[in-house]
A and B are shown apart, each in its own frame.
Chain A
Amino acid sequence: DIQMTQSPSSLSASVGDRVSITCRASQSISNYLNWYQQKPGKAPKLLTYAASILQSGVPSRFSGSGSGTDFTLTISSLQPEDFATYYCQQSYSAPPYTFGQGTKVEIK
């Protein structure tokens, strides 16, 4: 099975900061990579798919990039509502739908 590793596990940032989260696959997954946002007590929400395509309704400050094994989710200017946990998930060889372990974005 393909393993997904995110870094960092957590980060502290201020409103207005540019934030980047990295996701690495254990083998090449082309651009079959999705990102989700989860707020405490809530269900995950799809942010991007196919590595870089923004889901409808997602603010343009979010962007995804990468291909092969290395991917990045970037928030260009962090907003108060962006404090959450972010997960990557590969869809190249699924099932199983492998998730990264998550990156918690906290307020500095």
Chain B
Amino acid sequence: EVQLVESGGDLVQPGGSLRLSCAASGFTFGSYNMNWVRQAPGKGLEWVSHITRSGNTTYYADSVKGRVTISRDTAKNSLYLQLNSLRAEDTAVYYCARIEQLVSPNYYAMDVWGQGTTVTVSS
């Protein structure tokens, strides 16, 4: 079964740090670009970060740039998101998502999602 399972969410104080993990199974993890997407309580979906299959290229939303680092370990079939200098507005459910090219050329969509992990930033 194709699956993504996030972990690492927690209650953290403002200014704190957290590392989220996403364990992939059931597919060749190293063949896919990956995203992190978050959803604040009662709000819509917000893309956070992207990493290419090689791990050599990364992108970040302006709202997290400079505070967040995405990485991956293909040997461990795992995706990570390091969150630093956390703010109240980072409170959200964080999802990892697989990016699939469903139609050639370049028609990409997020076709597999994890169940999410909750980050709460509060004193």
- Chain A contact residues, CB within 8 Å of chain B: 32, 34, 36, 38, 42-46, 49-50, 53, 55, 87, 89, 91, 94-102
Contacts and interface: CB of A to CB of B under 8 A. Distances in A.
Most A CB within 10 A of own CB, among B35, B37, B108 = B108
Given A43-B113, A44-B95, A99 B47 contact: yes
Contacts of B114: 43
Most A CB within 10 A of own CB, among B47, B103, B106, B110 = B110
B111 A55 contact: yes
A36 B109 CA distance: 10
A96 B61 contact: yes
Contacts of A34: 109-110
Given A43-B116, A53-B103, A91 B109 contact: yes
21 contacts: A36-B110, A38-B45, A43-B115, A44-B37, A44-B45, A46-B110, A49-B102, A49-B109, A50-B107, A55-B102, A89-B110, A91-B107, A91-B108, A91-B109, A94-B50, A94-B108, A96-B47, A97-B35, A97-B37, A99-B47, A101-B44
A32 to B, nearest CB: 7
Contacts of B109: 34, 46, 49, 55, 89, 91
Contacts of B116: 43
B27 interface: no
Nearest to A99: B45
A43 B108 CA distance: 18
Contacts of A45: 113
A36 B110 CA distance: 9
Interface in B80-123: 95, 102-103, 106-111, 113-116
A94 B111 CA distance: 15
Contacts of B35: 97
Interface in B46-103: 46-47, 50, 59, 61, 95, 102-103
